């Protein structure tokens, strides 16, 4: 049995120190679901801004289910990992057609919905419905690696299993909502990655790493992820006051988002040569008059992208592209670019076009 003092100390601390976040005002399943999906891979302060904007536009499941994908993607722009936004839309549609327009209070049923895995299902069950299901995020992993003085990386199978088991065992009867949040909040605010605030920690008397004097050595580092640098090029093609944009294919990276054509540099190619080639391959357009605008650096998953960006012009008068790498195209006025959903680096490129068109 876990020592009750640990649970009481943690719940008491959370009651005094938990941040007042928008979804903590209601604990509505829809609010918990949206916030948890947004929180995957995104910082809390950023999520609060996106969450409030999202609720202004889509206050409930029904309004989301009726939305157009492009509008959802546009609202999601900047959060990255766009499959999350598409899955929200798919799930809202499914729930409105088959589940009485509500998230089910059933762990197994939640797991069958698009984009809902073990973590999110646990979060909805415990935070929205106050049911005893564990959740483990990076904060809980770090906290437990210290609390239980775990001598192996937290992502290793056995350690990972231990952490999930402990997270389940520790939940006090009828208090899953606050206990799970308290664990994550303590990791986020006190048991910090680099300088844990042990002097302010309500669990210090329970912390094995603290007792052993090895806090600085926990969590044990796992294998570092390989980082892959990529050099790419992108071109803003202007013609008679309009700009060429195209919608990416549904099974490509950044599916269904709009873009300026471009791609990766091949061996021994300059960015200018690559852009001319990419335009020819993707659209059959011949371009010329390349003018460098900027270089954008962007990270996603393990890739570090350097994106060289150019203005360019159309050679010849034919404005109808052959769509070899896209599903739709537009010749859009500069002010219309606001209405389309672009990947983050292309949105940054649009911002840097100000005064250049």
Q: Which residues bind ligand SF4 (CB under 6 A)?
A: 143, 146-147, 190-191, 196-198, 201, 203-204, 207, 209-210, 215
Of 249, 235, 241, 233, whose CA–CA distance to 332 is shortest? 241
Which residue, 29 or 196, is less far from ligand SF4 as judged by CB?
Answer: 196
Least distance to ligand SF4, CB of residue 9, Å: 10
Which residue, 145 or 256, is less far from ligand SF4 as judged by CB?
Answer: 145
Least distance to ligand SF4, CB of residue 305, Å: 36
Backbone CA torsion sign across 148, 149, 151, 155: positive
Of 236, 305, 297, 308, whose CA–CA distance to 271 is shortest? 308
Find tokens 């598409």 and name the residue: 86
Which residue, 186 or 312, is less far from ligand SF4 as judged by CB?
Answer: 186
Which residue, 175 or 204, is less far from ligand SF4 as judged by CB?
Answer: 204
H-run or E-run covering 86: helix 83-98
Least distance to ligand SF4, CB of residue 140, Å: 11
| Residue 69 designated active-site | no
Find how far residue 116's CA is from the centre of its chain.
14
CA distance to 197, 249, 288, per residue, from 236 (Å): 49, 19, 11
Find tokens 């219309």 and name the residue: 336
Which residue, 9 or 34, is less far from ligand SF4 as judged by CB?
Answer: 9
Contact present, 290 and 235 (Cβ < 8 Å): yes
Q: Assign 28 to helix, strand or coil.
A: coil
Phi/psi zone of residue 355: left (φ > 0), alpha (ψ -120 to 50 degrees), beta? left
Catalytic residue among 36, 77, 185, 278: 36
Distance CA 203, CA 14 (A): 12
Least distance to ligand SF4, CB of residue 187, Å: 8
Which residue, 176 or 190, is less far from ligand SF4 as judged by CB?
Answer: 190
Least distance to ligand SF4, CB of residue 300, Å: 31
Distance CA 154, CA 171 (A): 20
Torsion of CA 200, 17, 172, 214, to 10 degrees: -20
Q: Assign 247 to helix, strand or coil.
A: strand
H-run or E-run covering 305: strand 303-314
Find tokens 């391959």 and name the residue: 281
Catalytic sites, residue numbers: 36
């Amino acid at each position: 049995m876990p020592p009750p003092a640990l649970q009481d100390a943690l719940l008491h601390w959370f009651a005094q120190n938990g941040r007042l976040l928008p979804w903590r005002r209601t604990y509505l399943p829809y609010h918990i679901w949206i916030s948890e999906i947004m929180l995957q891979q995104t910082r809390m302060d950023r999520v609060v801004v996106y969450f409030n904007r999202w609720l202004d536009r889509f206050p409930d499941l029904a309004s989301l289910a009726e939305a157009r994908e492009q509008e959802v993607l546009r609202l999601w722009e900047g959060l990255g990992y766009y499959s999350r936004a598409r899955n929200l839309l798919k799930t809202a549609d499914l729930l409105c057609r088959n589940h009485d327009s509500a998230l089910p209070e059933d762990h197994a049923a939640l797991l069958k919905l698009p984009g809902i895995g073990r973590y999110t299902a646990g979060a909805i069950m415990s935070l929205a419905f106050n049911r005893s299901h564990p959740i483990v995020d990076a904060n809980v992993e770090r906290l437990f690696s210290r609390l239980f003085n775990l001598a192996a990386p937290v992502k290793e199978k056995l350690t990972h299993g231990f952490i999930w088991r402990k997270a389940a065992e520790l939940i006090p009867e009828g208090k899953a909502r606050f206990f799970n949040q308290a664990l994550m909040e303590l990791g986020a605010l006190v048991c910090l990655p680099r300088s844990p605030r042990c002097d302010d920690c309500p669990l210090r008397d329970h912390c094995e790493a603290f007792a052993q004097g090895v806090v600085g050595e926990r969590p044990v580092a796992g294998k570092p992820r390989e980082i892959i640098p990529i050099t790419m090029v992108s071109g803003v093609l202007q013609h008679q006051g309009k700009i060429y944009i195209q919608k990416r294919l549904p099974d490509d990276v950044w599916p269904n988002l709009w873009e300026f054509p471009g791609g990766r540099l091949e061996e021994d190619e300059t960015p200018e040569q690559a852009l001319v080639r990419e335009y020819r391959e993707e659209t059959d357009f011949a371009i010329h008059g390349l003018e460098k605008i900027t270089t954008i650096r962007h990270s996603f998953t393990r890739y570090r992208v350097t994106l060289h960006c150019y203005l360019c012009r159309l050679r010849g008068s034919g404005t109808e592209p052959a769509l070899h790498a896209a599903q739709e195209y537009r010749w859009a006025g500069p002010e219309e670019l606001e209405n389309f959903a672009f990947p983050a680096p292309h949105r940054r490129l649009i911002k840097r076009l100000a005064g250049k068109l």
